């Protein structure tokens, strides 16, 4: 790995701090546990009993949807793939869309049922499609939890019906949601307020989003509610305004109205108190780097996305340095290929973010004639 260190002094240092609200600072939430984080950095903006282990009910489906989206992303699954409904899937209790054994639905339709209607029968059908059995799928869920370092989470099923070995925390749920949001297509499902599932016989099932804030809070486009007698009312939500996307989690709220109210309070606090600041723009070149065996001898490199920081609304911009890490580039290289990473380092030497580095143009492999031209240019440049 070739390390190219480049110090970019961007802004004047400041002495302000981000006001993280603790439970005792009281937003007067009625939920047993809650958290608010910045979706991009994961920075905690509010917390209340964030590590308390609690049943998470159908918020479980955030992990189930994450496994589904990963399988779509890696090509193991396609939206148009057909899924045969088993007797086991059709027999699921709780929230459901009344799938019948022997029916076939596309992954697209079942994902819609999971995201909008929290359908237990649909999520079991998807679990069996991906892993062959529910137990094997649950193993995938727990493996993913370990990979994400969700140390206070354990799954016993893919739907969230009560089980003493099925639990999580507000903090772990927020991290799960943060990972799911890397697959932006999921928002095409979780943002739908109402739709219909057309069954093989032509009849339709009305799907209404259990997350009412999708309609009633500006900017909310996901993610997942939950309710059982033991878990109480739960909601992991996400909303975006301007360049700031937040994730909130409330667990064990006393009512559906309370979970919506607590979530609205958290999001309003977040959007009123914090801002997303661009440290370095993705459209500004980081410099040039040599391309081996290419028609172009060097190429501009860019951040894949803006490097940002989360600040309080009263806070001034900070100083940062960039540590650019790039492997050698060998042609051919396609436009938007990731060729390295940029670590963003604060004044204390902490890595606060890591952003992919890309090239924005195609670089073809040099031909024999190109090598001759480059050799001639090199020779003549020294004359």
**Which residues are identified as catalytic?**
58, 61, 118
CA dist 187 and 161 (Å) reads: 24
Contact 113, 125 (CB under 8 A): no
CA dist 45 and 66 (Å) reads: 24
Q: Which two tokens stand for residue 364?
A: 């073809």
Question: Kindly report the CA angle at 371 between 369 and 373, in degrees rounded to 5?
Answer: 70
Q: At what angle do helices 170-180 and 61-73 cross, to 10 degrees?
A: 20
3-class state of residue 25 by DSSP: helix
CA dist 67 and 87 (Å) reads: 22
Q: Is the peptide bond before 125 cis (omega within 30 degrees of 0)?
A: no
Contact 263, 223 (CB under 8 A): no
Beta strands in 281-337 (DSSP E): 287-292, 298-303, 307-312, 321-326, 329-330
CA dist 127 and 86 (Å) reads: 11
Q: Which two tokens stand for residue 381?
A: 């440049």
- Taken in order 136, 142, 143, 145, the sign of the CA dihedral is positive
CA dist 60 and 57 (Å) reads: 6
Contact 35, 201 (CB under 8 A): no
């Amino acid at each position: 790995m070739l390390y190219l260190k480049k110090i970019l002094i961007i802004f004047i240092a400041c002495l302000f701090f981000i006001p993280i609200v603790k439970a005792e600072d009281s937003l007067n939430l009625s939920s047993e546990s809650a958290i608010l984080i910045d979706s991009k950095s994961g920075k905690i903006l509010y917390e209340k009993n964030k590590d308390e282990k609690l049943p998470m009910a159908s918020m479980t489906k955030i992990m189930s949807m994450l496994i589904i989206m990963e399988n779509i992303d890696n090509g193991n699954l396609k939206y148009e793939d057909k899924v045969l409904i088993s007797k086991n899937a059709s027999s699921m209790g709780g929230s459901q869309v009344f799938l019948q054994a022997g029916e076939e639905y596309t992954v697209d339709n079942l994902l819609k049922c999971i995201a909008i209607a929290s359908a237990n029968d649909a999520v079991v059908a998807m679990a069996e499609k991906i892993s062959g059995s529910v137990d094997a799928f649950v193993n995938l869920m727990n493996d993913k939890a370990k990979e994400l370092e969700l140390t206070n989470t354990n799954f016993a099923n893919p739907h969230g019906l009560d089980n003493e070995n099925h639990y999580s925390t507000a903090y772990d749920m927020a991290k799960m949601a943060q990972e799911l949001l890397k697959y932006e297509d999921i928002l095409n499902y979780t943002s739908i307020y109402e739709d219909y599932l057309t069954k093989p016989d032509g009849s339709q099932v009305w799907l209404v989003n259990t997350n009412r804030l999708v309609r009633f809070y500006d900017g909310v486009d996901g993610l997942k509610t939950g309710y059982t007698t033991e878990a109480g009312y739960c909601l992991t939500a996400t909303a975006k305004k301007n360049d700031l996307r937040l994730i909130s989690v409330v667990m064990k709220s006393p009512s559906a109205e309370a979970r919506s109210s607590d979530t609205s309070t958290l999001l309003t606090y977040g959007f009123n108190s914090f801002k997303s600041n661009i440290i370095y723009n993705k459209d500004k070149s980081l410099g040039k780097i040599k391309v081996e065996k290419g028609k172009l001898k060097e190429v501009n490199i860019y951040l894949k996305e803006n490097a940002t920081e989360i600040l309080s609304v009263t806070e001034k911009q900070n100083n940062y340095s960039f540590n650019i890490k790039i492997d050698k580039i060998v042609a051919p290289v396609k436009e938007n290929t990731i060729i390295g990473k940029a670590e963003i380092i604060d004044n204390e030497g902490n890595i606060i973010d890591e952003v992919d580095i890309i090239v924005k143009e195609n670089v073809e492999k040099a031909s024999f004639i190109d090598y001759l031209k480059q050799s001639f240019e090199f020779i003549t440049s020294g004359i």
